[in-house]
Structure formats: C-alpha cells, structure tokens
Amino acid sequence: MDINKFPILSQINLPADLRKLSLEQLTPLADELREYMLQELNVCGGHFGSNLGTVELAIALHYLYDTPHDNIVWDVGHQAYPHKILTGRKERLSTIRQTKGLAPFPSREESEYDAFGVGHSSTSIGAALGMAMASELNNDDKRNVAVIGDGALTAGMAFEALNHAGGMRPNMLVILNDNDMSISNNVGALNNYFARIWSSNLYTNIREGSKRVLDKMPAAWGDFMRRTEEYMKGMVAPGVFFEELGFYYVGPIDGHDLPLLVDILSKIRTHKGPRILHIVTKKGKGYAPAVKDPIKYHAVKPGFLNPEIKPEAKNKPLTYSNIFGQWLCDIAAQDERVVGVTPAMKEGSDLVDFALKYPKRYVDVGIAEQHAVTVAAGMACEGLKPIVAIYSSFLQRGYDQLIHDVALQKLPVVFAIDRASLVGGDGCTHHGMFDLSFLRCVPNLIIMAPANENEARQMLYTAYLQDGPTAVRYPRGTGPGVAIEEKMQALPLGKAQLCRAGEEVVILAFGSMLATALTVGEALNATVVNMRFIKPLDVQMLTEVAGNHKLLVTLEENVVAGGAGSGVNEALAAAQICMPILNLGLPDQFIEHGSPTQLLADCFLDAAGVQQSIENRLRGA
C-alpha cells in the first residue's frame, strides 16, 4: 500500500516524529493509523480487534513518554500492532506472523522499542515492576508503564504483581485497558470529570497535604477522611480495590478520546508511587463487524475486507479441536460426572457446543491455567470426571499444579492438550514443543498421542476410563483424513501398532509424525510402528523390533531433549539392548513464526528431511 495516501502517518517513522505533531493532529492520525492497519491486515491477516482498540492509547503513550528510554510493556501483545507501526515498522506490517516477517508479538530482538518480549498473558505488571525497581537501584529517571487488558487481569500472576507493587511503592503506571468486562458501565462525562480531578496536581497536592495534617490529628479523624475519599470514589468508579492494594487509581475514562487521554496521562506520569489508569476501549473500534462480534474478529485471515463472500466448503474436514469438542459432548451425554474446564479458551479448544448443551458443567476459569488444574483436582476429589482443555504452551504455567495437585494424588483428571505442535504464525511463545519432555518425567501420568482423527477420539475415551491422571496431546489443525468411528472403544493400554513391515530400518513414530514415517517407510522399505503411548511405552514391541533391525529411528514433533525418543533410549538401555539409534525431533532452540509446513521442513522433519537424515546415518555421515 502507498503510505503517502496517509499524509500524517507517512511522516511518522519513529516516536520522535510523533512528538513533533500538535495535539490537534493526533485524532486524524488515529483515523489514518486505523485505516492503514485495516488495509494492511487485509493483505496478511493477523490479530485484529484488540489492535483496533488500542490505536489512541499507543499514540498517547509514545507522544508523552520518551521511548525507548522509557519502558512500555504490552501484555500478551495482541494489541501491539499500533505500537509497532509507530516505532519504525509500519512498512513491514504486511509481513507480520509470516516466515522471516515481523514477530506476532513484541520482541526485544526485533526492536529497542519492545521493552519486554511477550506472548503469554499477565506478565506486564511484574515485568514493569522489575524495571521500576531496577530504575530505582540504578538511580535513573526511566518511566515504566504496563498495559494490561481486563482478561489478562484474571490471572494470578497479575494479582501477585499488583500486591507486590503496592507494598514496594515503585514509580510505575499500570494502564488497565478494559474492553470486555462489565466493570465500567459508568463511563461518560461524569467519570471523565472525576478522572480529571483525581489526576490533577491540585487534587494531589491537597490529598498529600491533608495526609500531613491528618497525621498530626487523632487517628479517628484520619480514618474518617480516608474512608470518605474511598466511598466517594467507590460511588462512581471501581477503584477501591486498587486503592486498597496501594495504587493511586484514576478512571475509568474513554480510551478513544485522545485529548482526554493525553491530558490525564500528562498529569499522572509525574506522580510518584504506583498508579493505575483505567481506560475503556472497544475491540474492533472503527470496523463495525468487529465491534459487533469481537470473538470472530480476534484474528482475521487475508482478504477479510473483500466484498465477495465465499461460502464455506461443504464437508470441511474436522480439526483435532473439533474432534475433541464433539467427543466431550458425547461422553457428557453418557456420564453426568463429566465437567469441561478451560482457561479462557472456549472457542480455541472448541468447547462452544459443550458450553451451550451443558452450561452447569462448563467451567471457564479465565486466564488462570494454574487455577484450572487445581480446580479440576478438587472436582476429581469429589467424584467428578474433569476434562481440562488446554493448549500445550499454556499448560507450562500449570506444571507445579499438575505434579503436586493431580499426579501426586493420583486423581483422574484428563488433560486434552491442544496445539501440541508447531502452530505457525503465533511463533515461539505458542509452539507446543515441550510437553512430552516435561510430562514424561511425572509419575502416575499416562501420556498418549494420536496419529489420526479416529485415534484422537478413542484415546480421549481411553483416558476418560482411567482411574488416574492422563494426557492426550494432539496438534493444531486437521489430521490425515481417517474416518472417525462414532462408537468409542478403549485402546489397549501401553500398546503400539505395527503399521508396516520392512527391512534394516525401523521408524517409531509418535502422534502426528506417523504420516511422514509411512511416506519415508515406503521410500526406504522401513518398518513403521505407531507408538501411540509415550508413557507407558510398549517395551515388548521395542525389544522385538530392536532385534530385527540395524537402525532404530524415533520421530516426534517435540524437542528431542527429554522427549519420546529419550524414553525409548532409556527403555532399551534398561533392557540392556545396544544398537544404533537416531532420535529425530525438534532442535534445541526456539523456533520462530512461519508456515508450519515450512517450519517442519526447516527442522528436517518433513518426509524429505527425515529420509535424508536416515540415509546419512546409514552411510555413516
């Protein structure tokens, strides 16, 4: 797109250029930035609604703060596209989430304006607090700002940071970007009026002066005046909670009113101690369909603005998430003890139908993965059958709870682990590439990985039948296209499946890699085994194939370090079987964003790469 179509935005290459504008130019700049983002994301796709909602905030922050000297930490990063545009990356926006393109979230490696790398939610307050404490120790004048959404504020990490900051009293500002929850019904002229008062130097001076006077008076007078202020604020704003934590609260205000936003921010940025500015914004601001349906427009695909509406293809293949969602409804119809638990991923984990059919048995804990695991453990203690639907990379947050609250107590909690794969555009913060390694070492836990759609359904049923903790990990997207049997049948626990008999080489495939293994098996006339279970391993199958082949290859979409292949190595060593082994999986590095197909090829985990690795080993290369 020709950037010159946007007369003000075309002048902005860095925040220093933005600060040359007059206050009157900021609102038309916001209009241009929003339109530019619409057109560019129509080309490349990406996170959408939340970014349209933070245009004014990004402008106001970079207009008033001396970035990159001052630190702005964007929570999660779904709303940081306007920030990227204003910090020297606008002409690369159309490459976002693509191979070698802009990172999907703020990245310290990408820009000095990205103060903290993010991707998972609720880290901004803790990170900004750490920066504020460092500023105090370093005796510098940096200002530190955390931007957090109302959804991210549901996580325990955020409250831990708020509690810590309230006690430490650092000079930092938390901006609560409220774009969904109902805590801000009173936004309007009255609240804007009070926000102006509470952020003013006059009010601050009166407030601090009053404290000094009250300190010399009987305690009862001081308590009375403090309670009066709290009650006054509580009548028109939800700030009492934050004030009790030790924060100075201002808001809520209209986050799309740029003159007001600049006015309030310019006042409270000079205040001392921890502060919270509560702004109210609309997801999808400037694009009516996104305002009407923010969930649908959380992220968009290229061409979403095109006027022609393409009907969805009939008989669209089911994704693994769809298979899980259907299975959960089916098993819930059979067993009233079944409960579905999710940490704010109803749509992503395909729990929409379940939530409609069984609202009393649908539990969304918000962005609180640790709590999701422990609440499921509590349910299991009382005889329920909790199914925790969670992304692989998000389960990392609930690891201690999985070990201590579930596995240690041998509780029958099923973990339906979605996105256990290279996920594509969301990149290194979302790739599900570590779960086999961090789960395999946990006692009492059964771990399965389906190779196709039908195995996914049957493995979930197998997990449900167990009287202890189980995990079924499956990749993002669709499978190889195997027909799904409606009847649910338990798989033999810990038993692998011989898929192809060959010579010289045996390939042990785990989960999503079976299709690749079969392709390579045909090319090399290799034996192929669908291992199915990571824990317990089919030791009998292992010893049989090890004795009949010259090279044993393990293949998994997980890091090699500590993964399923490592489990095979340990089992063979325990059986005192010594033979050449080749462990193939993801490398010991964080993998960037891009097409999953291309990323697998880059990791030599496509059919060509796997075949080449095996042939190199056979040649002694």
Q: What positions carry a catalytic annotation?
A: 283, 369, 397
Calculate the alpha carbon distances from 442 to 400, 408, 470, 543, 564 in Å. Answer: 11, 9, 11, 24, 13
Backbone Cα Rg of the chain: 27
Where do the H-state alpha helices sit in 45-112?
49-53, 55-64, 81-84
- In the numeric block, the tokens 């496509």 are attached to 606
CB-based contacts of 53, cutoff 8 Å, min separation 6: 79, 177, 179, 255, 281, 282, 283, 284, 285
Where do the H-state alpha helices sit in 139-276?
156-168, 189-199, 201-215, 219-236, 240-244, 258-268
Report which secondary-structure segment, H or E, holds 40: helix 23-44
Report which secondary-structure segment, H or E, holds 11: none
Q: Which amino acid, residue 320?
A: Y
- In the numeric block, the tokens 């596995």 are attached to 407
Distance CA 92, CA 587 (A): 28
CB 410 within 8 A of CB 444: yes
SS3 530: strand
What residues does 506 pair with on adjacent strands? 527, 552
Where do the H-state alpha helices sit in 489-556?
514-524, 539-547
Would strands 527-530 and 497-500 be described as parallel, antiparallel, or unpaired? antiparallel
CB 406 within 8 A of CB 413: yes
Phi-psi region of 281 (alpha: psi -120 to 50; beta: other; left: phi over 0): beta
What are the φ and ψ backbone dihedral angles of 417, each rounded to 5 degrees?
A: -95, 105
CB 411 within 8 A of CB 378: no
Tokens of 414: 């099923």
Exposure pattern of 200-236 as b/e (b: 16+ CB <10 Å)? beeebeeeeeeeeebeeeeeeebeebeeeeeeebeee
**Which stretches does DSSP call E strand in 376-490?**
385-391, 414-418, 446-448, 470-473
Distance CA 45, CA 549 (A): 48
